[in-house]
C-alpha cells in the first residue's frame, strides 16, 4: 500500500496493527525512547484549507521520528489553480519522501496519489478525514480497551469526519449510527461500503434522523455543522441542525460510561454545549493529542517501512 486516502484501504488487520503501533510509539515517546526511523526523510504538507491539529501534529511527528516537514500554504502552491495537481505531484516526488495534502475535492488527493511516486496521505478532503479517524479509534480504544461491540452515536452532518468514522468503526466491529437532520446524511456509497465492512466484522452502521439512536451509546461524537468551504451555508444549516446539538440531555440518554468526542475546532453553544465540551465525559483533548500518536505510527509504517505488529 503506497497511499493513505481512506481508512477502508487498510482493512481490519492493518488498521488494528496500526493502532497497536501508535500505542507502542506513544509509550516509547513517553520514555524518551523514540527511534529516528525517518532520519533524512522529508514530508511536504500541502494545505488548501486552514489547520491547527493536522499541521502541527504532522510537523511534530516528523521531527520526533528524525525527519522534517515542510508547510506549503494555500497561496504558495495554488493546487489545481496556479499549477495542475498532476504537475504538483510529479514535482514534489522529485524533492520529498512523502506528501500530506488537505484539499477541497477528494478527487484532487486521488489525483495527487496517482501521479506521485511517493506516498500521499489524505490530511482531509471533502469526503474523508482518515487521519482523524485513526486518532478517534485510538481514543475509543484507550478508554474502553477494545473497539468491537462499542456503540458510537455521531450527531450532526454526514460529512468527511462521519464518513471516516463509518468506515473505521465498521472495520473495527463497532456499531456506528450517524444521526442527522433530513437531507444531511452520509453519502450513500460510503454508507454501503461501511455496511459491507460491518457485515464482515460483526459491526453495524446506520444513518437515521431519529435521536433515539443515542440511547445507550458508549461514545457521543459531533463535528461542525458547516465544514470548511460551506461557510455560506452556516446560517441556513443552523436551524436544521439545532435539534442535533450534543448537550447534557444527550449525555443523559447515553450509557453511564459515555465519552464525548469532537474532532475540533468546536463551536461551543452550536454543535456542542459548553457543558458537554468541558465536562467530565469529554475526551476531546486526548483525541487531539492522539492525532500525533496515530500519525507517528502511520508515517513510521508508510514512509519509514516500520513493520506493523499484530
Backbone angles phi, psi at 152, to 5 degrees: -110, 125
Q: Measured between alpha carbons, how far is 136 from 221 in angstroms, rounded to an integer?
A: 10
Q: Please report how close the Cβ of residue 132 comes to ligand CP at its closest, in angstroms.
A: 5
Residue 230 vs residues 49, 107, 128, 226, 267: alpha-carbon distances, Å: 12, 18, 15, 5, 15
Distance from the first to the final alpha carbon of the chain: 17
Q: Measured between alpha carbons, how far is 180 from 126 in angstroms, rounded to an integer?
A: 17
- Residues 140, 283 contacting (CB under 8 angstroms): no
Nearer to ligand NVA, 99 or 226 (CB): 226
Q: Measured between alpha carbons, how far is 221 from 68 in angstroms, rounded to an integer?
A: 33
- Residues 276, 250 contacting (CB under 8 angstroms): yes
Q: Please report how close the Cβ of residue 201 comes to ligand NVA at its closest, in angstroms.
A: 25
Query: Does residue number 228 form part of the binding site for ligand NVA (CB under 6 A)?
Result: yes
Query: Does residue number 160 form part of the binding site for ligand NVA (CB under 6 A)?
Result: yes
Give the up-direction half-sphere exposure of residue 245: CA atoms within 13 A in the CB hemisphere: 20
Q: Which residues between 244 and 273 bind ligand CP (CB under 6 A)?
A: 263-265
Nearer to ligand CP, 53 or 296 (CB): 53
Residue nearest to ligand CP (CB): 54
Nearer to ligand CP, 128 or 301 (CB): 128
Q: Could you list the active site residues?
A: 102, 129, 132, 223, 263, 291
Q: Which does 224 bind (CB under 5 to 8 A by kind): ligand NVA, ligand CP, none?
A: ligand NVA
Nearer to ligand NVA, 17 or 226 (CB): 226
Q: Please report how close the Cβ of residue 295 comes to ligand CP at its closest, in angstroms.
A: 11
Backbone angles phi, psi at 121, to 5 degrees: -115, 135
Q: Which residues between 127 and 146 bind ligand CP (CB under 6 A)?
A: 132
User: Which residues sit at the interface with ligand CP, rule CB under 6 A?
Assistant: 51-54, 124, 132, 263-265
User: Which residues sit at the interface with ligand NVA, rule CB under 6 A?
Assistant: 124, 159-161, 223-224, 227-228, 263
Amino acid at each position: 500500500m503506497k497511499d493513505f486516502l481512506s481508512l477502508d484501504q487498510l482493512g481490519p488487520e492493518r488498521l488494528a496493527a496500526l493502532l497497536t503501533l501508535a500505542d507502542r510509539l506513544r509509550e516509547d515517546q513517553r520514555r524518551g525512547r523514540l527511534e529516528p526511523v525517518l532520519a533524512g526523510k522529508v514530508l511536504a504538507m500541502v494545505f488548501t484549507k486552514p489547520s491547527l491539529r493536522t499541521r502541527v501534529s504532522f510537523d511534530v511527528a516528523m521531527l520526533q521520528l528524525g525527519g522534517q516537514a515542510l508547510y506549503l500554504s494555500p497561496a504558495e502552491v495554488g493546487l489545481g489553480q496556479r499549477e495542475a495537481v498532476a504537475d504538483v505531484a510529479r514535482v514534489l516526488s522529485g524533492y520529498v519522501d512523502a506528501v500530506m495534502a488537505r484539499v477541497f475535492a477528494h478527487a484532487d488527493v486521488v489525483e495527487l496519489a496517482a501521479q506521485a511516486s511517493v506516498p500521499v496521505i489524505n490530511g482531509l478532503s471533502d469526503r474523508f478525514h482518515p487521519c482523524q479517524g485513526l486518532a478517534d479509534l485510538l481514543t475509543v480504544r484507550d478508554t474502553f480497551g477494545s473497539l468491537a461491540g462499542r456503540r458510537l452515536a455521531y450527531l450532526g452532518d454526514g460529512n468527511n469526519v462521519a464518513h471516516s468514522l463509518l468506515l473505521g468503526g465498521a472495520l473495527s466491529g463497532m456499531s456506528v449510527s450517524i444521526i442527522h437532520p433530513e437531507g444531511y446524511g452520509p453519502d450513500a456509497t460510503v454508507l454501503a461500503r461501511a455496511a459491507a465492512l460491518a457485515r464482515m466484522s460483526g459491526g453495524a452502521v446506520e444513518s437515521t434522523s431519529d435521536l433515539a439512536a443515542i440511547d445507550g451509546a458508549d461514545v457521543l461524537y459531533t463535528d461542525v455543522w458547516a465544514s470548511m468551504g460551506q461557510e455560506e451555508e452556516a446560517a441556513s444549516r443552523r436551524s436544521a441542525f439545532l435539534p442535533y446539538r450534543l448537550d447534557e440531555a444527550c449525555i443523559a440518554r447515553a450509557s453511564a460510561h459515555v465519552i464525548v468526542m469532537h474532532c475540533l475546532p468546536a463551536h461551543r453553544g452550536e454543535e456542542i454545549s459548553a457543558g458537554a465540551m468541558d465536562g467530565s465525559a469529554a475526551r476531546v483533548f486526548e483525541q487531539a493529542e492522539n492525532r500525533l500518536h496515530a500519525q507517528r505510527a502511520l508515517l513510521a509504517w508508510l514512509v519509514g517501512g516500520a513493520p506493523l505488529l499484530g
